[in-house]
Amino acid sequence: MTNYIVLFSIIVIIGGVIYIYNSLVTKKNAVKNAWAQIDVQLKRRADLIPNLLASVKGYMEHEKNVLENVIKARNMALRCDDNDINSRINFENKLSGSLSSLLAVVESYPELKANENFLQLNEELSSTENKIAFARQFYNDSIMFYNNALEVFPNNIIASFFDFKRYNEFKILDEKDKEVPKVSF
């Protein structure tokens, strides 16, 4: 009888470990999927930027540095290693800041704001930014569930044994990027 109790206990423990491990893998894959959804939208935004810049370039000869900052930020974001999520987040935040500066400067060009091509590109960019915001929120929610699962007992023991690592949220890393761009006319 004692052998059956010991055997049953071992089976329950092994079953629990398997269940927790599979649960952690599922949550980790959900985080990877959420990042992939962000990545799709970030690439879409990066594809829109050259067309947007082409449409504003002729109007904004005096704002060359703003255009160059957008191009530089876009190129840095595209060259970033996809496996280094924190670095990619930082570069994408810089790109968002430079795009905000560009759109703020556009306000002083009424003929540009009336341009059909610019309006369409601006609408697509706004739509993409909204999709990125929703994807970031989903990504951060996925990370929260995953990180919580890593910290609770007994998951924390199994997670450390199998070397599961925490993920960082998609947030603004540089305090300068949180500031509203200053526009002077």
89 in any annotated domain: yes
pLDDT computed for residue 181 by the predictor: 43
160 in any annotated domain: yes
pLDDT computed for residue 120 by the predictor: 84
Check whether 182 has a pLDDT greater than 50.
no
148 in any annotated domain: yes
Is the Cβ–Cβ distance between 51 and 121 less than 8 Å?
Answer: yes
The pair of three-digit structure tokens given for residue 29, joined into one six-digit string: 């894959």
Check whether 78 has a pLDDT greater than 50.
yes
162 in any annotated domain: yes
2 in any annotated domain: no
Closest among 44, 48, 64 to 122, alpha carbons compared = 48
Q: How many domains does the chain have?
A: 1
CATH number of the structural domain spanning residue 138: 1.20.1440.20
Closest among 166, 156, 168 to 21, alpha carbons compared = 156
Q: What is the mean pLDDT of residues 111-133?
A: 83
pLDDT computed for residue 178 by the predictor: 47
pLDDT computed for residue 177 by the predictor: 47
Check whether 141 has a pLDDT greater than 90.
yes
Closest among 149, 143, 80, 68 to 105, alpha carbons compared = 68
Instruction: List, for residues 46-69, the tens digit of each pLDDT value.
Output: 888 888 888 777 776 667 778 888
**Residues comprising the chain, all counted:** 185
Instruction: List, for residues 79-91, the tens digit of each pLDDT value.
Output: 887 778 888 888 8
16 in any annotated domain: no
Q: Residue 105 sits in which domain range? A: 27-178
CA–CA gap between residue 48 and residue 2 (Å, rounded)? 69
**Whole-prediction pTM:** 0.73
pLDDT computed for residue 148 by the predictor: 95
The answer for residues whose C-beta is within 8 angstroms of residue 35's C-beta and 6 or more apart is 85, 139
CA–CA gap between residue 20 and residue 149 (Å, rounded)? 9
Q: Please write down the long-range contacts of 95-100, taking CB distance under 8 Å and 24 or more positions apart.
A: 95/45, 95/46, 95/70, 96/129, 96/177, 97/73, 97/176, 97/177, 97/181, 98/66, 98/69, 98/70, 98/72, 98/73, 99/49, 99/70, 99/73, 99/125, 100/181
